[in-house]
Amino acid sequence: MSYGSIVKVPFGPQHPALKEPEHFLFEIDGEIIVNVKPRIGYNHRGIEKAFERRTYIQNIYLAERICGICSDAHTTCYTQAIEDLLGLDAPPRARYIRVIVAELERIHSHSLWLGIAVHEIGFDTFFMYLWRDREAVMDILELISGNRVHYAMNTIGGVRRDITPEIIPKIIRSLDFLEKRTKYYMKALRSERTVLKRTVDVGVLKPKDAVELCAVGPTLRASGVKNDVRGDDPYAAYDEIPFNIVTDDGCDVFSRMLVRCGEILESINMIRYALDHMPSGMLRVRMPMAVKPGEAVSRVEAPRGELIHYVKSNGSTRPERYKVRSPTLANIPALCRMFIGQHVADIPIILAGIDPCFACMDRLVFIDVKTNKRKSLDFESFSEMVRKQRNFRLA
Amino acid sequence: MSLLKWIRAKSPWILHFNTGGCNGCDIELLAAFTPRFDVERFGILLQGSPRHADILAVTGPVTLQVRERLIRIYEQMPEPKYVLAVGSCACSGAPFKDCYNVIGGVDKVLPVDAYVPGCPPKPEAIIDGIVKLIQKIEEGGTCEKRR
């Protein structure tokens, strides 16, 4: 039913449903969303330019701080790109440790997301339960790396810390606990009427649209498309570890929940296998200070989907150009499609459905509007330009 | 202690705003409100609206774009109001200090009452920061001086 007049409703940058600053402008007819305009860039810090000012080793620190939730995915992607340039191969044990940490991160990220998602539909009890159990995986990560969020595990040519035999039983115990709880949550999700009513057939993304709009990660897999970098283009030790790519045909928010729950269970099995089959040997190989000229692209399956890093080297100790394409950015066009025709009340859960991470996303391409040409500027002139134009806005 | 001061120190409500951080501090701040740490048992509540909040917890370095919003949110909060800078980025800008789109720490834009350094600070550290801020509120705070 149409009311004839369109009302514009702003959403963000500060909004209880968003943990990060981002703005969406919804055009609403009655209760139905007819159009949505995302305005990104509140989180833009200029990391890609900062990469060019630091050495390759310092950049590991910076790559980790692109995003706090998928910090390990970013450093894995960064170190793989540099290793590719250098022609280095991480030792087998290091590759297994990378997989273990990456999968632990996936468990932590997915359970975090599931908590936020049920919080958006008002199911706070479930949220609290999930976050309580999530502390088990945070404890494992702290045990392995010494930190809860930025693990600093990866370095160019390997990993920095070992997983010692003493802590393996503790990890296994926590994994058993997590597996039991995740199975219980899946059962609860499937049988809870409130969850079903708020998520089934909400935010539908048809497989054709998902592929057309280049959706990635669990958002794509929940539309029934089997696509996962870990399987399609294995990195680290993923070619040696058996796992299933979890998909679901529901195409809605509910199937996105199920896919992520399924992935938690898969990750638990992968970590168990990796801990059993971890080869012995050294953790890292030495790298030279300077990197020879060249370009490299590296792909990693972050918890939110396919993450791409690109690096261009000119033979010095610093990269000449660095580029990050994060999964959330790839999912934004698909997200805008999901909103059309939905109710206003479903905005938070649809938005949460893609597991947005705006810290990863806000990148910038400088286009001169008058001549429609892409420009590249060095750091100093760019800084100066930005400071001069106080009303500078990101395109 | 006056009755007003006692009420203010007893149950401060917190508004969380990310000004361009990496999410690390945000999830740790949120973790402080969940069952393992659970600051809600002390009456500290996470609020959605700036109009109901006493403490503005800021995470991340302040980016140029978010600056106006941050000030607007701060102005919407009722007096007395306090600002808690969570994480190294909010304290000083940390690794993003020299980035072109980053102004720096929160104290470049707003008066900050308590700093919690760390990248990211553990939930225990954030709770400690909140406790120290409450002590400050009990002692009289700084809100009057700002006027």
pLDDT digits 0-9 by tens, B4-60: 778 778 888 999 998 888 888 989 999 999 899 988 888 888 888 889 999 999 999
How far is it between the farthest Cα atoms of chain B? Answer: 47
Contact residues, chain B, for A16 at CB < 8 Å:
48-49
Contact A77, A300 (CB under 8 A): yes
Contact residues, chain B, for A386 at CB < 8 Å:
64, 100-101
Determine which of B23, B51, B73 to mutate to test the interface with A (most A C-beta atoms within 10 Å).
Answer: B23
d(CA A135, CA A51): 32
Whole-number pLDDT of residue A126: 92
Query: Are residues A19 and B30, on separate chains, in Cβ contact within 8 Å?
Result: yes
For domain B3-141, say whether CATH 3.40.50.12280 is its number.
Answer: yes
Query: Are residues B95 and A65, on separate chains, in Cβ contact within 8 Å?
Result: yes
Look at residue B127 and tell me whether its pLDDT is greater than 90.
yes
DSSP for residue A154: E
Q: How far is B38 from chain A (nearest CA, A)?
A: 10
Look at residue B144 and tell me whether its pLDDT is greater than 50.
no
Nearest 5°: the CA angle A227, A233, A235 is 125
Contact A229, A306 (CB under 8 A): yes
Whole-number pLDDT of residue A394: 43
The interface predicted TM-score (ipTM) is: 0.89
Whole-number pLDDT of residue A393: 46
Residue B71 touches chain A, beta carbons under 8 Å: no
Query: Are residues A46 and B100, on separate chains, in Cβ contact within 8 Å?
Result: yes
Query: Are residues A149 and B24, on separate chains, in Cβ contact within 8 Å?
Result: yes
Query: Are residues B23 and A132, on separate chains, in Cβ contact within 8 Å?
Result: no
Q: Which residues of A318-333 are buried (b: 16+ CB within 10 A; e: fewer)?
A: bbeebebbbbbbbbbe
Whole-number pLDDT of residue A377: 56
Residue written as tokens 């080793």? Answer: A57
Q: If contacts are CB pairs under 8 Å, which of residues 100-139 in chain B contact chain A?
A: 100-102, 119-120, 122
Instruction: Please provide the DSSP assignment of A186-239 as one string.
Output: HHHHHH-HHHHHHHTTSS---HHHHHHTT--HHHHHTTT----HHHHS--TTTT
d(CA A223, CA A210): 7
Closest C-alpha among A274, A101, A269, A238 to residue A176: A269
Residue B50 touches chain A, beta carbons under 8 Å: yes
Residues of chain A with pLDDT under 50: 367-368, 390-395
Instruction: Please provide the DSSP assignment of A238-278 as one string.
Output: TTTS-------S--SHHHHHHHHHHHHHHHHHHHHHHHHHP
Whole-number pLDDT of residue A352: 85
Closest C-alpha among A138, A104, A318, A328 to residue A216: A328
d(CA A57, CA A296): 17
Give kind and range of the element (H or E) at residue A180: helix A168-191
pLDDT digits 0-9 by tens, B44-72: 888 888 899 999 999 999 988 888 889 99
pTM, entire model: 0.90
Q: Which CATH superfamily is domain A47-311 in?
A: Cytochrome-c3 Hydrogenase, chain B (1.10.645.10)
Closest C-alpha among B57, B81, B87, B76 to residue B137: B81
Nearest 5°: the CA angle A154, A273, A239 is 65
Contacts of A124 (CB under 8 A, 6+ apart): A118
Single-letter amino acid, residue A192: E
Whole-number pLDDT of residue A240: 92
Whole-number pLDDT of residue A395: 36
